[in-house]
């Protein structure tokens, strides 16, 4: 088993939360894990990116080689496209379609959607809208994690345990809300696959 995953987004969206939860699930599943993060200007809405490498065999580097990613997982469509050259030809790109417009020269969304449409193996939907529909507007990242989990060889139950562990200090209601969002995202991805 091997999953090389690039997690991408904008500061404050919860990308590093996803990395933490997946990392905990991988370790609980006795898998090897390496991770590298870039989050220098994240507090100001800047790019956040994490290389997450999970394997049943030892891993020698925390960085994913160009063209080696199995998954690009992003809460922001332009950030997803930023890393498309990292994706291997059989890899999947899973992204939110709702943009986080934080720069004056943000590309026209029609062009972003067209670029996503020109790629193979894309799961793209408005995760923010689904989060609102389930009355949990801050859980878009858990919807994204659920969608991505359909492509990662870690049992959904182990990832749910990671969610419970991560959000446990915030109470049972917060844990249950985030697990529900995870399940909704996973089901959506499975239906779009």
pLDDT digit string, tens, across residues 19-45: 999 999 999 999 999 998 776 555 556
Mean pLDDT score of the chain: 92
Centroid of chain to Cα 62: 17
Is 11 or 177 the better-scoring residue by pLDDT?
A: 177
Instruction: Give me the mean pLDDT over the 119-126 stretch.
Output: 95
Residue 14 near residue 7 (C-beta atoms within 8 A)? no
The answer to whether residue 153 scores a pLDDT higher than 70 is yes
**Alpha helix segments (H runs only) across the chain:** 15-28, 77-82, 109-117, 127-133, 140-149, 156-167, 172-192
Longest dimension (CA), the chain: 45
Give the separation between CA 74 and CA 89, rounded to whole angstroms: 18
The answer to whether residue 67 scores a pLDDT higher than 60 is yes
> What confidence score (pLDDT) does residue 1 get?
87
pTM of the model: 0.92
Instruction: Give me the mean pLDDT over the 114-120 stretch.
Output: 93
Structure tokens at 176: 């249950």
> What confidence score (pLDDT) does residue 46 get?
73
Binning pLDDT at 50, 70 and 90, where does residue 101 land? confident
> What confidence score (pLDDT) does residue 171 get?
96
> What confidence score (pLDDT) does residue 44 get?
59
The answer to whether residue 71 scores a pLDDT higher than 60 is yes
The answer to whether residue 158 scores a pLDDT higher than 60 is yes
> What confidence score (pLDDT) does residue 39 get?
60
> What confidence score (pLDDT) does residue 40 get?
56
């Amino acid at each position: 088993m091997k999953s090389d995953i690039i997690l991408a987004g904008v500061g404050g969206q919860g990308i590093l939360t996803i990395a933490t939860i997946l990392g905990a699930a991988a370790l609980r599943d006795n898998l090897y894990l390496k991770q590298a993060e870039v989050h220098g200007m994240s507090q100001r809405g800047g790019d956040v990116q994490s290389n997450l490498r999970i394997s049943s065999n030892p891993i020698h580097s925390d960085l994913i080689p160009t063209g080696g990613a199995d998954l690009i997982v992003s809460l922001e469509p332009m950030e997803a496209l930023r890393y498309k050259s990292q994706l291997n030809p059989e890899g999947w790109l899973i992204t939110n379609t709702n943009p986080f417009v934080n720069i004056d020269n943000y590309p026209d969304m029609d062009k972003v959607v067209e670029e996503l449409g020109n790629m193979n193996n894309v799961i793209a939907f408005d995760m923010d809208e689904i989060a609102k529909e389930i009355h949990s507007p801050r859980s878009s990242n858990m919807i994204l994690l659920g969608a991505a989990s359909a492509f990662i060889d870690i049992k959904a139950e182990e990832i749910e345990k990671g969610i419970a562990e991560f959000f446990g200090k915030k109470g049972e209601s917060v844990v249950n809300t985030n697990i529900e969002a995870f399940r909704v995202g996973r089901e959506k991805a499975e239906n779009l696959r």
